[in-house]
Amino acid sequence: MKRKYHKGEFEYLKEKKKWELLKTLALFGISGLIFIMGYLSTKTKSNYLTIVAVLGCLPASKSMVSLIMYWKIKECEQALRKEIEAAVGKAGSFHLYFTTYDKNFSVSHLFINAKTIVAYTQQEKTEEAAFEEHIKTVLKRDGITGYSVKLFKDKEKYLQRIQQLTELETEVNKDQNVVNTLYAVSL
């Protein structure tokens, strides 16, 4: 039996992309088959099955939008995964994509400890201040305060910071409310 991956796990993004692709193809395929059945039975496009097929394109189109959004996420490199797991084990979350009205933020890895949220992105054009402000606003909206947020573009600095955080005498990812809030606002 195949294991189901959860958001934040390294394998989640690859499985989610596959699932969204299959779902999109199936939904468009069903709509196409309904249209073809209606056309073959009446020899015209003007029939009720055409209406059903067109309405079936609505959920298929929604699924296509999800597929496009998941394709936009840059996957964390396997070598980086090994470096991060050597530093913190399985703690933290991989492949999070935060969306706002103005900007989108692709986060390769996110780590929470000691009221500190640190994240690493492989996207050079990402604005650190905008990401940090967005996360603080999201947490504040959910009544979570007192967390500092820092986005890193430099891998070595990020690895050094998560190593420092793991050496603290606190339990890693202790506040599940913060994790749930961040997962709720990310793909």
pLDDT at position 1: 52
Structure tokens at 47: 């029939």
Predicted local distance difference test score (pLDDT) of residue 168:
73
Helix axis angle, 128-141 relative to 176-184, nearest 10°? 110
Give the pLDDT score at 23. Answer: 96
Query: Residue 150 is encoded by which pair of tokens?
Result: 């820092």
- For the chain, what are the domain ranges? 12-72, 78-184
Q: State residue 59's pLDDT score.
A: 95
In this prediction the pTM is 0.78
Instruction: Provide block-wise average pLDDT over 10 residues at a time, the chain (187 residues).
Output: 76 89 96 93 89 94 93 83 80 85 87 86 84 88 86 87 77 70 84
Per-residue model confidence (pLDDT) at position 174? 56
CATH number 1.25.40 given to 78-184 = no
Measured in residues, the chain has a length of 187
Each residue's pLDDT tens digit, 144-182: 888 888 888 888 888 888 888 877 765 555 577 888 888
187 Cβ contact list (under 8 Å, min separation 6): 69, 70, 73, 96, 97, 99
Nearest in space to 99 (alpha carbons), one of 6, 12, 9, 187: 187
- pLDDT, residue 169, reads 60
Residue 105's DSSP bridge partners are 98
